[in-house]
Structure 1
Amino acid sequence: MQLTYVPYHLDQHHPDLAVPLPAGADVTEITVELPAGDVFARLVPLYSAVAGAVAASPETPVVSGDCTVTLAMAAGMLRAGLDPSVVWIDAHGDVQTLETSASGYVGGTALRLLLGYRREAVLDRLGVAPFASDRVLLVDARDLDPPEVEFLASSAVRRVPLSSLPSSLPEGQLLVNVDLDVLAPSALPGARYVAPGGPSVATLVSAVRTILATGRVEGLHIACTWEPGRPDLQSLRGEIIAELLTP
């Protein structure tokens, strides 16, 4: 099994992210010396490197520390001549803006960035046009802030529960982003942003496998949005990753 590993949370390198990758996997780890500047200026060289790896082998799963790496995957897939729709599995909507977010957390804007928010910050620099809203499926998203609810009410982005898969999938090639914080907090201790409710590991794995079984997944990203360290959780985390990456 080939894997691309990006041990970053946004522009912060975390060698201790403690993602237990499957034994025997052929892993390409991407690290970049990031320049000074704001978070977007720092992300672009990292995401350029990720896009290059994805362009060379788009079918190789990518494992990282946050959902914004999906922007880099989109860039790489487009460079490879693919034209995917997006399936975004997440406890959160990730459609905030920095102007409306109470926390100012850039990771909470990840999907909104892919849709064209502040396109000059990342998409334009990666050579990616914004994705059309009607080609994006948001799955679960049970923890939304009021500005996100308002945005989605007027957007063509479809929002569905995990149980609706695979019948609700968009047509064509697929780029699938799985944020592990979609899991119930009891199933994923140590998550950065906990959302009450959520599926079990078995339910999530079953849903992801039904998507993979369509044969239309051209890119798979697993976002390990947990606090770095925590060797006590290594075994549990390893089981989750292995289950998701096993056909």
Structure 2
Amino acid sequence: MADHGTGGAWDLIVTPWHLDEHIPAFPIPATATEVVRPVLPAGPVPARMNLLHRAAADVVTRADRPLVLSGDCPTSRAAVAGLQRRHRDLAVLWLDAHGDFNTPAISTSGYLGGMALAMLTGRTPGLFDDMLDLRPVPDTSVVLADARDLDPAERDALTASHVHRMPAEPAAIASVLDRLGPVPVYLHLDIDVINGAQLPGARFPSGPGPSLAQIEECLSVACATATIVGAYLACAWLPEHAGDQTSRQAITRLAVALGADLR
């Protein structure tokens, strides 16, 4: 068993889904500990997602140090709920080209993937039931890095919040994690934070941004600075690009930066 919070080995969990849609081409590393493939009955998308998230949360709960590979960001609800079952306090480091801070009230598209961080901070009551027993993470314990592509109302919501915002730069991330103190950290990364020219095929490309090498350094610095008890790589490519060689290589490099062995 890995030792919680000491930088032990990662337990690799794969959730090959985007919202409630299974991604058949999603790459499954040979080193995966478990693949989450529940049978989802027909019904409303949130209800189907809730069943998926409950299954994923149960897997995360059993893992000593979970590293989740997923096709979207909202399944982070499951990762955080699972971690909260053994960590009373938890901070969130969220690296993303988007804020994921929309809510049903302000979203212009209604896209649930754009609400993932708002879900974690308790801003989407009633969207899902309480099957996960997810406790809202306080804004003051959330660090949002990059978020260069925001909707106007989403930008206003972030401005009014107490979420820590900063560029995706290693020194800035090390500094804010130092200020948060010794609290355990959940690290979340959406691949679209990386410069779109380097990683083609993202579902929602956001153009120029940090290089893959810069993001690798951000992950390494975070692991060296904070107690990373769980991590999540949102592999938000279009389904036809999910298994591309470029996609696989990028995920392998990001995992290595976290200290994980992906093959």
Q: TM-score, structure 1 length as denominator?
A: 0.92
Q: Are the counterparts in 2 of residues 85 and 175 from structure 1 also a CA contact under 8 Å?
A: yes
Q: Once the 2 structures are TM-superposed, how far is the Cα of residue 214 of structure 1 from its aligned partner?
A: 2.4
| Structure-2 residue corresponding to 1:192 | 203
Q: Are the counterparts in 2 of residues 114 and 123 from structure 1 also a CA contact under 8 Å?
A: no
| Structure-2 residue corresponding to 1:2 | 11
| Residue deviations 1:65-121 (CA, integer Å, cap 9, x gap) | 011111100110111345310011000000012232222111001111111123333
Q: Once the 2 structures are TM-superposed, how far is the Cα of residue 5 of structure 1 from its aligned partner?
A: 0.3
Q: Which moved more, 1:180-189 or 1:33-42?
A: 33-42
Report the CA distance shift for 1:154/1:123 in structure 2 as closer, same or farther (over 3 A). Answer: farther
SS of the aligned residue for 2:89 comes to coil
Q: Are the counterparts in 2 of residues 84 and 218 from structure 1 also a CA contact under 8 Å?
A: no
| Structure-2 residue corresponding to 1:243 | 253
Stretches of structure 2 lacking an aligned partner (at least 5 in a row)? 1-9
Partners of 1:64 and 1:152 lie apart in 2 by: 25
| Structure-2 residue corresponding to 1:178 | 189
Q: TM-score, structure 2 length as denominator?
A: 0.87
**Counterpart code for 1:9:** H
Partners of 1:34 and 1:188 lie apart in 2 by: 31
The reply to whether residue 80 of structure 1 matches residue 89 of structure 2 is no
| Residue deviations 1:10-47 (CA, integer Å, cap 9, x gap) | 11111113x363xx413311011113332211111111
Aligned residue runs from structure 1 range 89-238, under 5 A: 89-122=95-128, 124-163=130-169, 164-169=172-177, 170-171=180-181, 172-230=183-241, 234-238=244-248
Partners of 1:191 and 1:239 lie apart in 2 by: 15
Q: Are the counterparts in 1 of residues 25 and 239 from structure 2 also a CA contact under 8 Å?
A: yes
RMSD: 1.7
**Counterpart code for 1:167:** S
Partners of 2:244 and 2:97 lie apart in 1 by: 22
Partners of 1:67 and 1:98 lie apart in 2 by: 16
SS of the aligned residue for 1:208 comes to helix
User: Alignment identity in percent?
Assistant: 36
Q: Are the counterparts in 1 of residues 71 and 236 from structure 2 also a CA contact under 8 Å?
A: yes
**Counterpart code for 2:161:** S
Q: Are the counterparts in 1 of residues 197 and 208 from structure 2 also a CA contact under 8 Å?
A: no
**Counterpart code for 2:232:** H
Partners of 1:62 and 1:190 lie apart in 2 by: 21
| Residue deviations 1:127-150 (CA, integer Å, cap 9, x gap) | 112111111111100001100111
Q: Once the 2 structures are TM-superposed, how far is the Cα of residue 58 of structure 1 from its aligned partner?
A: 4.4
| Structure-1 residue corresponding to 2:72 | 66
Q: Are the counterparts in 2 of residues 94 and 111 from structure 1 also a CA contact under 8 Å?
A: yes
Aligned residues: 243
**Counterpart code for 1:151:** A
Q: Are the counterparts in 2 of residues 123 and 129 from structure 1 also a CA contact under 8 Å?
A: no
SS of the aligned residue for 2:136 comes to coil
Q: Are the counterparts in 1 of residues 190 and 234 from structure 2 also a CA contact under 8 Å?
A: yes
Aligned structure 1 segments of 4 or more residues deviating by more than 6 angstroms: none
